Amino acid sequence: MTPGPPAGGSASGAVSAAPGLSSAEAARRLTQFGANKLPETGTVPGWRRLLAELTHFFAILLWCASVLAYLAGMPQLAIAIVVVILVNGVFAYIQQERAQHAASKLRELLPAMVSVRRDNRVTKVHTTELVPDDTVLLVAGDRVPADLRLAVAAGCSVDESMLTGESEALTKIPGDTVFGGTFLVNGQAEGVVAGTGGNTRLAEIAALTGKVEAPPSPLALELQRIVRITAAMALGIGVLFFVLSLLVGISWRDAFLFAIGVMVALVPEGLLPTVTLSLAVGAQRMAQRNALVRNLEAVETLGSTTFICTDKTGTLTQNRMNAVEVWTPAGLLSVIGAGYGPEAEITGPGAGEARHLSTAALAASVGRAVLHEEQWIAEGDPMEAAIDALAARLADPGQRPEEPEVSHRFAFDPRRLRESAIVGTTLFVKGAPESVIPLCGEDSAGRALEMVDQMASHGLRVLAVAERSLPGLPGASFRLEEVESGLTLLGLIGLHDPPRAEVRVALESAREAGIKVAMVTGDHAFTAAAIARETGLIGSPELVLEGHSLPEDDAVLAALLDRDGVVVSRVTPEQKLRVARLLQHRGHVVAMTGDGVNDGPALQQADIGVAMGLSGTDVAREAADLVLLDDDFATIIAAVEQGRATYANIRRFLTYHLTDNVAELTPSSSGPSPGDGSRWR
């Protein structure tokens, strides 16, 4: 199938979908062109990193002390100081190597698969296995894995801000080039690989970036500031003791050695590497509990979290959608089946109408239920896989519904809250009831809205399905709003996503730790509230807000949000971003979860952005500080606990080390006595 032009776009310049390479040809080209990855930048040799640990600010201070001690006739003290420098330098080097190794191992855990067409079928390969002339399939939220020349573009817009700095996504049509590393924000696309590895635009920029030394992080700057202040105090106190020793009649040589001992005792030379190791170990422990930290400084911030804004689907629930109810004007049909398989028990009236509805919903869907190793699994969106399973369950016994021949597809976006497809001259639409039902006739709208509330109150996610006969295919230029109008409502689909069993315990742990939790979701208010009750998230008295009715006054909204157990439903990306900002203005350290393209701004705004590793998009993962490898809310709480433990360890170390320095000063506090020839007491 070949999707048509994007809404509001032109069909001119359209290119048919490329057939793809054979596996043998792809293997040959992989050998010829090499792996699709950025060239390795020159790494600093180990001996240079070790030398850096022996020549930083504090080490130079100790080297000077050693030289001065030797000149003063104290070779034993000089050797002792050198030993301290070497031991500390090697220790710090080992710690830094461990931290770097932990960070590199964590980065390897991020998935990097892409759909390609090879051997006349769609398969998934690792991005490093892409070769020139491969045909790549992309959907909204995917990161472009290499430089591509688009052959098919349906409602496509691409975020190129990482390359150009342009904040707005750019519309793309067939024939355009999209660059590796950018993101497909809307629509679907197929592209032919034009450049891989070092031949991409991203590689050119990376080559320049590799020449620039990254600035230190805010946490590192703060630690350096603390240590420099301590070092300055050590120097000042050493000079003070030197002057006082001279004033009481001690020889300059003994006074000088005494001052050196004071300074050496007060310099916290092991501070920075120890803190780095604490963060790296904390990140490794989080990874073992399925929480991938994308930057080490986030470990400390995570431990300070006071408010968690969690999504519903896949985080509080299992993200295993199952269509359990179908309503048509003929009546309510119950569907009892497990997983995504085609077997189910069907009871109720209107089986024929429900079959037509499921076929229409299937045409407007991309995700499918596929048989993998004798088990039916979701390929793509679990909700759309559940629709595919529903169509199979309602089909005639022993048959699966035929794959619709879609000529035009209009992808879902968070503002329209629907998606549609044209098969022949019929438009099929599925989406949120409040988005689809108003476009239909008023005859069935009243009863349909009642059923939406009834199904949602049972914790079901509700989709409305409609159709329209078109006088012909859209021309070269058309408005999507005109095509998606005058619809006939076919009915509703109720999908159930069971809550995770461990969420209730995790919520109790969060509240015991003084963390407030809110649900911020795009789902229907009734559905969100039902899941919140089932998991124990919702507070008392219950407060359920809807995106379209949020107060305009920021102070009023912030006061409403700043409570435990609030539910915010039907939020747009702008509203989710606003929620994060208002809670931060109230003094909270906010952790925000998300999995879609539309969650990116809020994840970046939050103090800790938490993305879903299994179901999340590349955009969400790129914007996040923490990636949940199991998409489980309980993992967030475990990560917060680990963050707090790491933060407590850092504080204990600082307290111990600074008080220990004072203790080291005590043996020298009496100083050398004048005239008795003693060095130290």
Catalytic residue numbers read 311
Beta bridge partners of 494: 325, 462
Q: Are 312 and 519 in contact (CB under 8 A)?
A: yes
Candidates 631, 616, 625; CA nearest to 111 is: 616
Q: Are 383 and 362 in contact (CB under 8 A)?
A: no
Vertex 617: Cα angle to 456 and 362 (nearest 5) = 50
CA distance linking residue 657 with residue 638, whole number of Å: 28
Cβ neighbours, 10 Å, residue 668: 19
CA dihedral sign, ordered 217, 221, 222, 224 = positive
Residues near 494 by beta carbon (within 8 Å), at least 6 away in sequence: 323, 324, 325, 326, 327, 455, 458, 460, 461, 462
Candidates 62, 492, 414, 459; CA nearest to 234 is: 62
On the 0-12 / 13-18 / 19+ scale of CB atoms within 10 A, 31 is: exposed
CA distances to 69, 236, 238, 250, 670 from 680, rounded to whole Å, are: 14, 21, 15, 13, 8
The terminus-to-terminus CA distance of the chain in angstroms comes to 89
Pairing mode, strands 147-159 and 183-195: antiparallel
Tokens of 557: 């909204």
CA distance linking residue 249 with residue 255, whole number of Å: 9
310 backbone dihedrals φ, ψ, rounded to 5°: -110, 145
CA dihedral sign, ordered 599, 602, 604, 608 = negative
Determine the 3-state secondary structure of 463 from DSSP: strand
CA distance linking residue 470 with residue 91, whole number of Å: 74
| Element spanning 218, H or E | helix 218-247
Vertex 236: Cα angle to 233 and 240 (nearest 5) = 135
CA distance linking residue 243 with residue 248, whole number of Å: 9
